[in-house]
């Protein structure tokens, strides 16, 4: 663990990959490898979980053990996922987002009108979005703002594949990258 996750959002899933809560991290102890979140009723009775901490430029994914901590929940983190591979854990989401600009030659060029998207799933190194039909092309680089309650995240992504759902929607598989198009390294 390299970053302080205090005030970041974490998507917490059960062991069958069902989304339980989108929680704000109230406390993060880097040395002891744990976070503290609100004592959500959805977490009662859950001992093992998977979670995705939404940080820029790329999220961190973990497995966790949940236990009571006063009125809150303490989650001990382990199995941090750092490798870039296709077997990487993907987390189902249904988050709103906006593509704000296109990236060319390391510079972000703002769109006149932001493109509304839905984030369908997210992993440490990428995401899948649904947008208007034929809005993006393979190899397009763009800036996307993910809306998570009051804590937005701005990420840079590159379209690596697309699938059309004519007549009105397309889905895009995207890799999180830096402005110059290189893979983000933690």
Residue 112 has pLDDT above 90, yes or no: yes
What's the pLDDT band for 182 if we cut at 50, 70, 90? low
Calculate the CA 24 to chain-centre distance.
14
Residues 134 and 169 in one domain: yes
Domain assignment present for 162? yes
Q: What are the tokens at 98?
A: 């906006």
Residues 147 and 97 in one domain: yes
Residues 8, 55: contact at Cβ < 8 Å?
A: yes
Report the DSSP pairing between strands 169-176 and 126-132.
Answer: antiparallel
- How far apart, in whole angstroms, are the C-alpha atoms of residue 165 and residue 163? 7
Measured from the Cβ of residue 165, the count of other Cβ atoms closer than 10 Å reads 10
CATH of the domain at 163: 2.40.10.220
Residues 107 and 33 in one domain: no
Residues 30 and 65 in one domain: yes
Measured from the Cβ of residue 10, the count of other Cβ atoms closer than 10 Å reads 27
Q: What's the mean pLDDT when you consider all of the chain? A: 85
Give residue 106's domain range: 91-176
Residues 116 and 142 in one domain: yes
Number of structural domains, the chain? 2
Domain assignment present for 3? no
Instruction: Name every residue whose Cβ is closer than 8 Å to that of residue 110 and which is 6 or more positions away in sequence.
Output: 100, 101
Residues 128, 136: contact at Cβ < 8 Å?
A: no
Residue-level pLDDT at 50: 92
Give the model confidence (pLDDT) of 66-97 as tens digits. 999 989 999 999 887 643 444 567 778 888 99
Residue-level pLDDT at 180: 58
């Amino acid at each position: 663990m390299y970053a302080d996750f205090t005030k970041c959002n974490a998507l917490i899933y059960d062991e069958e990959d069902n989304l339980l809560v989108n929680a704000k991290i109230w406390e993060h102890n880097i040395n002891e490898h744990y976070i503290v979140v609100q004592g959500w009723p959805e977490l009662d009775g859950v001992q093992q979980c998977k979670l995705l901490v939404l940080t820029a430029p790329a999220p961190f994914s973990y497995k966790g053990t949940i236990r009571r901590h006063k009125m809150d929940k303490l989650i001990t983190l382990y199995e941090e996922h750092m490798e870039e591979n296709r077997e990487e854990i993907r987390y189902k989401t249904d988050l709103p987002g906006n593509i704000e600009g296109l990236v060319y030659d390391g510079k972000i060029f703002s769109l006149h009108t932001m493109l509304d998207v839905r984030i369908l799933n997210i992993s440490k190194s990428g995401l899948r979005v649904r947008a208007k039909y034929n809005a993006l092309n393979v190899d397009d680089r763009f800036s996307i703002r993910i809306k998570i309650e009051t804590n937005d995240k701005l990420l840079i992504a590159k379209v690596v594949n697309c699938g059309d759902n004519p007549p009105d929607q397309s889905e895009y598989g995207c890799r999180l990258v830096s402005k110059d198009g290189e893979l983000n390294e933690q």
